[in-house]
Chain A
Amino acid sequence: MIAEVGAFSLVLALALSVGQVVLSAAGRIRRSPALAGAGEGAALAAFLAVATAFAALMHGFVISDFSIANVAANSHSQKPLLYRVAGTWGSHEGSMLLWCLALTGFGAAAAGLGGSLPRGLRASTVAAQGVLGTVFLAYTVFASNPLMRLVQPPVEGRSLNPLLQDPALAVHPPFLYAGYVGMSVVFSLAIGALVEGRVDAVWSKWVRPWTLAAWSFLTIGITLGAFWAYYELGWGGWWFWDPVENASFMPWLVATALLHSAIVTEKRGALAGWTLFLSLAAFTFSMLGAFLVRSGVLTSVHAFAVDPTRGVLLLMILGVTSGIGFALFAWRAPKLGQGGLFAPISRESALVLNNILLAAATVTVLLGTLYPLIRDAMTGEAISVGPPYFNLTFTPLMAALLILLPAGPLMAWKRGDLRGVVQRLWVAALIAGGSGVLTIALVSPKKALGALGVALGFWLIAGALTEIVERTRAFRVPLAQTLRRLVGLPRGAWGMTLAHLGLGVFVLGAVFETTWKLEAAEALPIGGGLGIGAYEVRLDAVDPVKGANFDADRATLTVTRKGQPVCVARPEQRLFTAGGETTSEVGLCYQGPSHIYLVLGERRDDGAEPRWMVRAYWNPWATLIFLGPGIMALGGFVSLSDRRLRLGVGRRRESKA
């Protein structure tokens, strides 16, 4: 019964979304606040209806109702509760429902919070968001309905892929989707602005918080995914330039560019066209990601629920929605004004450079992902684009961006003072140079590129702190005054500093880990050992253990340094009883920010006594790789809590009047 209520709610949500489009559009055309208000009500109701459907599906997963086809295919009664809940979005159908939940949720929030927007823009935006909701809900209802019943329900479900039964991955999709779909509001706002033919400070002030929220969620989502890959896959890597990773990275890059260009549009009225373009592009890349990942065009070897029919449908949705968006852009954008003038050395120019480099980086990732397809379609020749390509193209572009980064926030608007910026950054440059020299002197083996990377990381961190020092006039005015200024700093400033600082922390971790990681592997008998860097690893025992839905071999590995015990790690090799898959559970020893990463491999019975493959990695500073993006996302949320973003320009003007 509950599943039927859910299925009905889903259809109702589709009808309400259609109503949202019709009412809001009519409200805009007839300039009727009542009709527009009804459209906003429909947006809220559509969200509630999708939430009901989502709750019904989740209920089905929690009680293991295998008469629902989706639950039977993706759940198992022995699974722990967390993974039964996470199973709701673990399948194609369920994740599309999550997508719709986020889409209508953001739509309802935009409709409900839109009080500070001009009426016309508000109605157009709600209508555009309604179109997106209609399209994706129609897809979910007709092509990918997760609430269908089975005529003959099985006694037991087919379970979720055990690799996905992991806490980080259970919460990874909601964050990722909140990020992807958060861009839809920005997309709708851009459509609204194009329909109204007006891009002003009120509009850009609205674009920024939505972009910030989506960007922060996306940052967390990608980081959780990378962290999961790091400790669950058991080969020590965290980013593989895999098409599926790239699919989530492209919207992130575009959103980052948009965050920066929107500042110029808001503060200086310039770059309005470009900001609009990026607003459309961000959600287009989100949809492209959904299409790439779901249609299977890039994963020819994979047979996982690759459904060409659905792929074609998603491609059509992508083509039509973004096609309309960009057509509207081509038609209306040339009429937008150019905005304020600025000199070559200015904050505007710095932000434009940021956008050029981020755009080039996005093109790199896009080409690297799609070029094998394009080449194959055009000439029939198959080529591979792997990590070496990205190292040669993406990395130098990013390095250029990071070198320029600390100068940007210190530049004045309109006309900056290069000499002043250099004067303010010399301490940061000294710290960066010093850290590079120290790295060369202290870290062996000596690697110049690695030392440069470390210097770059410290350059970013010191540069971010310089910004705070400048704003508080630390070391130049009495301490009390500095502290007073520090407390009085707007949250937006803290947010920016945290985001830039987090980037520096990430760069340090990424550079250190990739440059100086060590690897060792041996087939060890019980009592045998292997050396990794300064550490010795000894295999003490391998015992069978029984989990909730798996059997495992658990190794006890003692790590010592110069004879002194450091830690005990217990990596596992798990065999899942439901599907027969094996996974490996990594053992991690934290040594400050560095990890000793231990993996138990297969048993070998070729010698006199049984031996186990044990692989050990020394991953120096690896914690920073995941901590850095965490700080960046925190910066996003801190910035989002800034009063100036919450109170729209319009509302403030009203309160003054």
Chain B
Amino acid sequence: MRWRALLVGFAGALCLAAASDPAERLADPAKEAQARSIFRDVRCLVCQNESIDDSQAELATDLRKIVREQVSAGRSDLEIKRFLTDRYGEFVLLTPRFSLGNLALWVAPFLVVLAGAGLLAARLRYRPPETELTATEAERLQRIVRDETY
């Protein structure tokens, strides 16, 4: 579909896995790995749904520089992320926070599982009032017996 293509495509044209550029890299491989893992969680604010790890936009280059500087200075992931959210707001992190405002986001999928399990349990306990097979049930039974099961 065109729009899908445009969306990913537009981002792609601007942003080609930019973070691996040797000109930007840190000398210490462990520090570089730490910086890269942070990049993947930081949004390129001017791109569309792109991390600064992928983006070649100017802002992403600046953000990478800041993050690398802070990593070299020995600051922890948490400190760096706090620095970024203080400056740009929660929007800058690709992982939404575990906060009250995001409660529905984090909990709903698992609530669906629980609700489904509850409904299944109720269904398993359900007993129809009639004990005899009705005519349609008998017919359906015959059909099931006749059809090979999957």
Among B60-68, B69-77, B101-109, the stretch that binds chain A is B101-109
A486 at interface (Cβ–Cβ under 8 A)? no
User: Do residues B3 and A294 form an inter-chain contact, with CB atoms below 8 A?
Assistant: yes
Whole-angstrom distance between the Cβ of B86 and the nearest chain A Cβ: 15
The 5 closest A-B pairs by CB, nearest first: A386-B94, A356-B116, A233-B12, A163-B9, A388-B95
Given the complex of chains A and B, what is the CA–CA distance between A90 and B4 in angstroms?
A: 11
A470 at interface (Cβ–Cβ under 8 A)? no
When A235-B54, A299-B48, A302-B10 are in contact, do A397 and B120 touch as well, CB less than 8 Å? no
Whole-angstrom distance between the Cβ of B2 and the nearest chain A Cβ: 5
Chain B positions within 8 Å of A356 at CB level? 112-113, 116-117, 120
User: Do residues B120 and A163 form an inter-chain contact, with CB atoms below 8 A?
Assistant: no
B6 at interface (Cβ–Cβ under 8 A)? yes
Given the complex of chains A and B, what is the CA–CA distance between A383 and B94 in angstroms?
A: 8
CB contact between A302 and one of B22, B48, B92, B124 (< 8 Å): that residue: B48
B8 at interface (Cβ–Cβ under 8 A)? yes
Select from chain A the residue with minimum beta-carbon distance to B126: A338
User: Do residues A352 and B5 form an inter-chain contact, with CB atoms below 8 A?
Assistant: no
User: Do residues A615 and B91 form an inter-chain contact, with CB atoms below 8 A?
Assistant: no
Question: Count of chain A residues with Cβ under 8 Å from any Cβ of B?
Answer: 95
Chain B positions within 8 Å of A413 at CB level? 144, 149
When A384-B93, A386-B41, A599-B16 are in contact, do A393 and B7 touch as well, CB less than 8 Å? no
Chain B positions within 8 Å of A90 at CB level? 2
User: Do residues A521 and B22 form an inter-chain contact, with CB atoms below 8 A?
Assistant: yes
A426 at interface (Cβ–Cβ under 8 A)? no
Select from chain A the residue with minimum beta-carbon distance to B102: A383
When A268-B144, A363-B108, A388-B95 are in contact, do A248 and B4 touch as well, CB less than 8 Å? yes
Chain B positions within 8 Å of A173 at CB level? 1-2
Select from chain B the residue with minimum beta-carbon distance to A409: B150
When A301-B46, A356-B113 are in contact, do A383 and B16 touch as well, CB less than 8 Å? no
B21 at interface (Cβ–Cβ under 8 A)? yes
Select from chain B the residue with minimum beta-carbon distance to A306: B3
Chain A positions within 8 Å of B17 at CB level? 234-236, 519, 521, 615
Residues facing B in A516-555 (CB within 8 A) are 519-523
Select from chain A the residue with minimum beta-carbon distance to B105: A371
Whole-angstrom distance between the Cβ of B82 and the nearest chain A Cβ: 16
Contact with B along A316-359 (1 / 0, CB 8 A): 00000000000000000000001011111000010011011101
User: Do residues B150 and A493 form an inter-chain contact, with CB atoms below 8 A?
Assistant: yes
Chain B positions within 8 Å of A584 at CB level? 16
A245 at interface (Cβ–Cβ under 8 A)? yes
A263 at interface (Cβ–Cβ under 8 A)? yes
Among A64-72, A114-122, A147-155, A224-232, the stretch that binds chain B is A224-232
Chain B positions within 8 Å of A225 at CB level? 1, 4-5
Chain B positions within 8 Å of A496 at CB level? 150
CB contact between A349 and one of B91, B106, B124 (< 8 Å): that residue: B124
Whole-angstrom distance between the Cβ of A467 and the nearest chain B Cβ: 10
User: Do residues B16 and A304 form an inter-chain contact, with CB atoms below 8 A?
Assistant: no
Contact with B along A352-391 (1 / 0, CB 8 A): 1101110111011001100100010001011111111100
Chosen A-B contacts, 13 in total, with CB atoms closer than 8 Å, are: A91-B2, A95-B2, A163-B5, A177-B1, A232-B12, A233-B12, A293-B3, A363-B108, A383-B90, A387-B94, A393-B110, A496-B150, A521-B22
Q: Which of A173, A269, A301, A338 has the most CB of B within 10 A?
A: A301
Q: Which of A386, A392, A615 has the most CB of B within 10 A?
A: A386
User: Do residues B113 and A397 form an inter-chain contact, with CB atoms below 8 A?
Assistant: yes
Given the complex of chains A and B, what is the CA–CA distance between A267 and B113 in angstroms?
A: 25
A161 at interface (Cβ–Cβ under 8 A)? yes
Given the complex of chains A and B, what is the CA–CA distance between A385 and B51 in angstroms?
A: 11
User: Do residues A353 and B22 form an inter-chain contact, with CB atoms below 8 A?
Assistant: no
Contact with B along A636-657 (1 / 0, CB 8 A): 0000000010000100000000
Residues facing B in A490-520 (CB within 8 A) are 490, 492-493, 496, 519-520
B78 at interface (Cβ–Cβ under 8 A)? no
CB contact between A240 and one of B23, B49, B89 (< 8 Å): that residue: B49
Given the complex of chains A and B, what is the CA–CA distance between A51 and B108 in angstroms?
A: 44
